[in-house]
Structure 1
Amino acid sequence: MAGRESAARDDRTRDGARRTGATGAARRTGAAAAGARRTGARPAPDRRPARTPAAPPAPDDGLVVGHLPGGARTAGVLLVLAGLAGVAALSPTYLVVGGRELSLAGGLGGALVGLVVPLTAVAVGAGLAAGRVPRFGLAYAGVGGVLALGSLLIEVYRGSASTVRPGVEVLAGERVLTSSVETGAGWWLEVAGLALTVLAAVCAAAAWSRTVMEDRGALDPARGALAGAAVLLGVLTVLCLALPAADVPDRLVDDPSTGLEVVVEQQGPQALLERPGLALLGGLLLAGAVLLASVLAPSLRPRLAAVGGFLAVAVTVLAAGLGGLRDALASDELEWTVPGAGLLAAGLGYALLTVLAWRLRRTTAR
């Protein structure tokens, strides 16, 4: 009996020891975890070198270009052909006036001036035909075609009807009297180039609404200022076009009866709006087109379309201003006039607006 009680006590003692050992282990584990929390122990840091963060992408317009219709590519091809015709027109005989053969190039300076519009048309037309930034090319073609329509009528008048009312003209740097006029290959190529430009404008107008090209509107805050400056330049251009860019200076002669010097006016070239028939209509269309393009170009969307519209006006006005300067330098009988200088200044102003419309997106996008 006593042995059984002793064995039972031994079993209870072993069970208690086991429970005590388990409780102690649990306490030690909890204490270790609490100590780790108190000391703020963390995993060992990663010794590998940190990667340099990639530079953020440069701001852009968020330009989206959709499917290009066939009419837009046709306008681009017509622009290229018009530019090539304009380049080819520089070398051959332009007009034979009073037995004198005239060429549009008329020397190195005349050739450089004559290349401004054709080479720009070739570059823009090639990009449009290839499908790059289509509304830029369409805007250039549309505005350039409207401006070319007035010039086309003036060219037709020079080659066909200028002898009806003979007058003094300045053609290719030469002061001539249009008593008799014969057309040459250069005139036909020039007329073909202007006609192709007008056709390109028709195709551009038809394809404009079907051409998808949008951006984030980075130019929108500056459109009002650009429009105001363009309208002022348009008014200046029209006023300068109304008078010759190069004119014949007055002569001082001695009056034998009085012995005094007298100013004698010499007949100079006719002003743009003083010519009859097709020339008058062409001058009015050209003046109206400059004003219309000045108002329209800043409102074209997206931003690159406004750039294209400004570029078309800039090269046209700049070529006219440089042409007056070329005429004054090429002939001893002519001098550069204030309207001619104003025309050159207006062309440079339009070129500045073109650059601003192109660059302002970087300023506003930051």
Structure 2
Amino acid sequence: MPARDRAPARSTAGRPNARRAATGAARPARRPAERAAGDPVVVGAVPAAARATGVLLALAGLIGAVAVFPTYLTVGGTTIDVVTGPLDALVALLAPLAALLVGVLLARGRVPRLGLAYAAVSGALAIGRLLIELHQGHGSTARPAVEVLAGERVLTSSVETGAGWLLGVVALGLTVLAGGVALVAWGRTVMEDAGALDPLRPVLAGVAVLLGVAAVLCLALPAADVPDRVVTDPVTGLETVVTVEGPQALLERPGLALLGGLLLAGALLLCSVTAPSLRPRLGAVGGLLALSVFVLATALAGMRDAARSPEVEWTVPGMALLVVGLGFAGLTVLAWRWRTGTTVTAGE
């Protein structure tokens, strides 16, 4: 019995090729699972600064969502309300709800660099917007001009701020603060992938730069303007084009608004260059998503203004800005779907 027991043991030990064959036969069964995993993402411990960024961003989104409902401004005796119907609410809530969603995910520690990239780009864009809002609420009466606010054509001879304007300024300030904290937390946050997006990054960067330049050119002109009038002389029948003063363009406003417009244009170009280069792939997705939300929200606001007032028409730059926003959204989807991945937490 002992001899028979030892014999099979010797025969098994003497056939190492059989073991290698059995191991090799099992490997192909795992390879499809590895390919299905795509571009796995490794996430380390999420620092407190990253979670704080998420809290600030979510709070900014929540306050920004509430800000669209109260009275925005009272300009020249005309009350300006941002939301007057369901369509207005959808347009006005696009950016705040996106910030709220990304902020909640970041505060929970999910895909942290996506949220940090979104916060950093949104904060950079919010600096110029904050200066423009401060001018609109306090400095626009120094040099009265015609403006189109929420579809209303008004003269800024007198301006009284409402609760909506105040909450909007607070939301922009929190967005700027979240962007600053995101820059601090970026280097402390461990999140990496296998680099599946790297071959596509030069193409993304080139297209994003072109879209950024196009967005700045579109923003340099009003998205909704007052058309010129054609007046016919009843005696001679001669038609004369009478220019009607319309809203000021981004870089035509004085003081803080001019500085804000320059900062906004510069931040838009800079973020268009840097967003596709952020690592990992989901970091680039977060940066491009912030650009998409900003451009689309601005373009849709111009379309809303034109739809609300018969005196205002949607301009070609406004239409082009919508196309640019859809282009940024397409780049975001491309970066997101280029290689779907699984999230692996370090230590698990």
**TM-score relative to the length of structure 1:** 0.83
Aligned to 1:102: 80
Q: 2:281 aligns with which of 303, 317, 332?
A: 303
Partner of 1:273, secondary structure, is coil
Task: Give the CA deviation at 1:255.
Answer: 2.3
Aligned to 1:196: 174
Runs of 4+ in 1 over 6 A off after TM superposition: none
- Aligned mates of 1:288, 1:106 — CA distance in 2: 33
- Aligned mates of 2:254, 2:110 — CA distance in 1: 43
How do residues 17-32 of structure 1 correspond to structure 2 at under 5 angstroms?
A: none
Q: 2:123 aligns with which of 127, 141, 145?
A: 145
Paired AA for residue 318 in structure 2:
G
How do residues 75-114 of structure 1 correspond to structure 2 at under 5 angstroms?
A: 75-114=53-92
Task: Give the CA deviation at 1:59.
Answer: 2.6
Aligned to 2:32: 56
Higher RCO (CA-CA < 8 Å; seq separation 6+): 2
Partner of 1:165, secondary structure, is coil
1:183 aligns with 2:184: no
Per-residue CA deviations over 1:189-234 (Å, capped at 9, x if unaligned) read 0000000000000110001000000000000000000001000101
The percentage of counterpart residues that share the same residue type is 67
Return 5+ residue gaps in structure 2 as ranges. 1-25, 342-348
Q: Rg bigger for which structure?
A: 1
Per-residue CA deviations over 1:122-155 (Å, capped at 9, x if unaligned) read 1000000000010000000000000011111000
Aligned to 1:132: 110
Per-residue CA deviations over 1:135-177 (Å, capped at 9, x if unaligned) read 0000000000000111110000000000000001011111111
Partner of 1:105, secondary structure, is coil
- Aligned mates of 2:249, 2:235 — CA distance in 1: 34
Q: 2:188 aligns with which of 198, 210, 227?
A: 210
Task: Give the CA deviation at 1:54.
Answer: 7.2
Question: Matched residue pairs, number?
Answer: 313
Per-residue CA deviations over 1:234-255 (Å, capped at 9, x if unaligned) read 1100000000000001111112
Aligned to 2:210: 232
Per-residue CA deviations over 1:99-133 (Å, capped at 9, x if unaligned) read 11111213222211111100000100000000001
1:268 aligns with 2:246: yes
Given that residues 247 and 269 in structure 1 are in contact (C-alpha distance below 8 angstroms), is that contact kept between their aligned partners in structure 2? yes
- Aligned mates of 1:227, 1:174 — CA distance in 2: 38
- Aligned mates of 1:94, 1:302 — CA distance in 2: 40
Aligned to 1:116: 94
Paired AA for residue 219 in structure 1:
L
Paired AA for residue 76 in structure 1:
G
Aligned to 2:291: 313
Given that residues 78 and 199 in structure 1 are in contact (C-alpha distance below 8 angstroms), is that contact kept between their aligned partners in structure 2? yes
Closer/same/farther in 2, CA of residues 238 and 360 from structure 1, 3 Å limit: same
1:329 aligns with 2:300: no
Partner of 2:80, secondary structure, is strand
- Aligned mates of 1:76, 1:136 — CA distance in 2: 11
Per-residue CA deviations over 1:315-350 (Å, capped at 9, x if unaligned) read 000000001100111100000100000111111100
- Aligned mates of 1:108, 1:160 — CA distance in 2: 30
- Aligned mates of 1:100, 1:169 — CA distance in 2: 12
- Aligned mates of 1:238, 1:302 — CA distance in 2: 27
Given that residues 150 and 285 in structure 1 are in contact (C-alpha distance below 8 angstroms), is that contact kept between their aligned partners in structure 2? yes
Partner of 1:179, secondary structure, is coil
- Aligned mates of 1:282, 1:55 — CA distance in 2: 53
**TM-score relative to the length of structure 2:** 0.88
Paired AA for residue 74 in structure 2:
V
How do residues 235-254 of structure 1 correspond to structure 2 at under 5 angstroms?
A: 235-254=213-232
Partner of 1:274, secondary structure, is coil
CA RMSD of aligned residues (A): 1.6
Aligned to 2:19: none
Partner of 1:216, secondary structure, is coil
Per-residue CA deviations over 1:242-284 (Å, capped at 9, x if unaligned) read 0000000111111245321111110000111000001001111
Paired AA for residue 260 in structure 1:
L
- Aligned mates of 1:328, 1:217 — CA distance in 2: 44
Paired AA for residue 95 in structure 1:
L
Given that residues 110 and 172 in structure 1 are in contact (C-alpha distance below 8 angstroms), is that contact kept between their aligned partners in structure 2? no
Given that residues 62 and 216 in structure 1 are in contact (C-alpha distance below 8 angstroms), is that contact kept between their aligned partners in structure 2? yes
Paired AA for residue 56 in structure 1:
P
Given that residues 91 and 105 in structure 1 are in contact (C-alpha distance below 8 angstroms), is that contact kept between their aligned partners in structure 2? yes
